Amino acid sequence: MFNIGDLVIYSNMGICRIDDICEKTYSGVTRNYYIMSPIEDSTLTIQNPVDNDRILMRGIIGKSESEEILDSFKLPGIQWIDNGSERHRTYSEIVSSGDRKEISSILNTLMSKKYEFEMIDKKLSEHDRRLLLHIQKILFKELAITLDTTVKAVEKDINRMIAHKMSKTSHHEVANFIN
């Protein structure tokens, strides 16, 4: 159970702060509810029953896990799936699981593929682009909070690692082609 003041990732709303936990009665049923607001929009109020297992709600990660995730962008991500609909289904299932390490692997792959495509004047599919933006928005904000930095700084570090990794890969492929 979460406490008042905790930051959580709530479904597709992103990072929310729990403002209150209180009893509410709807349709004659009394339950405890989390009252929360997205940190990006404090004017919005979300109410979610404490015992609701159907909505994904999880606490934000700690500093050491954030550092591990940040470092993981130096490595290859998850395997690229050529079939677009299969890729979208598989990647979306992983994102829905809430496992940040797996989610960062998908983000790593999507960012690397975007970089690779841009080098040859191509673009990601619309599904891939939307998933990339969705994951970036939530994960970069979470990393920024836990590492006590800005989203821009996280984005800059990760883009630098992706570019460095991709330039090494490109040089390696050219060397293999020549030899």
CATH number for the domain that contains residue 45:
2.40.10
Kindly state whether residues 108 and 144 are assigned to the same domain: yes
Residue 36 DSSP code: E
**What is the rounded average pLDDT for all residues in the chain?**
89
Same domain, 112 and 95: yes
Q: What is the pLDDT of residue 169?
A: 64
Q: What is the pLDDT of residues 72-126, one digit of tens each?
A: 999 999 999 999 999 999 999 999 888 999 999 999 999 999 999 988 899 999 9
Query: What pLDDT is recorded for position 10?
Result: 87
pLDDT score for 75: 92
How many domains does one find in the chain?
2
Residues 126 and 75 in one domain: yes
Q: Is residue 152 over pLDDT 60?
A: yes
**67 lies in a domain?**
yes
Higher pLDDT, 53 or 15: 15
pLDDT value at residue 137: 92
Look up tokens 């975007």; give the residue: 114
Cα separations (Å) of 104 from 31, 76, 137, 138?
35, 11, 12, 11
Quick check: is 1 in a domain?
Answer: no
Q: Are 105 and 48 members of one domain?
A: no
- Asked if 164 and 120 sit in the same domain, the reply is yes
pLDDT of 177 > 70? The answer is: no
Beta strands in the chain (DSSP E): 7-10, 14-26, 29-38, 46-49, 57-59
Q: What is the DSSP string of 121-163?
A: T----HHHHHHHHHHHHHHHHHHHHHTTS-HHHHHHHHHHHHH
Question: What's the pTM value of the predicted model, to 2 decimals?
Answer: 0.83
User: 37 and 117: one domain?
Assistant: no
163 and 91 in one domain? yes
∠ Cα 47 92 149 (to 5°): 65
Task: Assign residue 110 the CATH number of its domain.
Answer: 1.20.58.1290
Average pLDDT for 141-145: 95
- Tell me whether residue 2 is in a domain: no
pLDDT at 168 over 90: no
Tens of pLDDT, residue by residue over 34-55, are 999 999 888 899 999 998 877 7
For 143, the domain range is 63-178
User: Are both 109 and 79 inside the same structural domain?
Assistant: yes
Is 18 a member of any domain? yes
- Mark which of 44, 59, 74 sits at the end of a domain: 59
Q: Are residues 109 and 28 both part of a single domain?
A: no
The residue that leads in pLDDT, 93 or 173, is 93
Residue matched to tokens 């690397």? 112
**Residues 43, 69: one domain?**
no
Same domain? For 73 and 144 the reply is yes
174 in the same domain as 94: yes
